[in-house]
Amino acid sequence: MMIRSLLCSGTLLMATSWINPAMAEDTLYERLGGAEGISVVVDHFIDEISFDRRIYPFFKDSDIERFRNKFSEQLCAVSDGPCIYSGDDMPTVHTGMNISETDFNRVVELLQKAMADSGIPYTDQNRLLQRLAPLRGEMLHR
Ligand code: HEM
**8 occurs within a structural domain:** no
pLDDT digits (tens, 9 = 90+) for 26-40: 999 999 999 999 999
**98 occurs within a structural domain:** yes
**CB of 85 shorter than 6 A to ligand 1:** no
CATH, residue 122? 1.10.490.10
The pLDDT assigned to 24 comes to: 60
For a substitution probing ligand 1, which of 88, 94, 115, 138 has the most ligand atoms within 8 Å of its CB?
A: 94
Atom of ligand 1 nearest to the CA of 66: 15
**3 occurs within a structural domain:** no
**68 occurs within a structural domain:** yes
Cβ atoms 29, 80 nearer than 8 A: yes
**CB of 142 shorter than 6 A to ligand 1:** no
The pLDDT assigned to 19 comes to: 56
Q: Which domain holds residue 62?
A: 28-138
pLDDT digits (tens, 9 = 90+) for 56-91: 999 999 999 999 999 999 999 999 999 999 999 999
d(CA 3, CA 18): 22
**2 occurs within a structural domain:** no
Q: What is the distance in A from the centroid of ligand 1 to the CA of 19?
A: 42
Measuring from atom 8 of ligand 1, which residue has the nearest CA? Answer: 71
**128 occurs within a structural domain:** yes
**42 occurs within a structural domain:** yes
**56 occurs within a structural domain:** yes
Residue 14's pLDDT band (cuts 50, 70, 90)? very low
- The mean pLDDT of 121-126, rounded to a whole number, is 98
**What value does the mean pLDDT of the chain take?**
89
Q: Give the chain's domain count.
A: 1
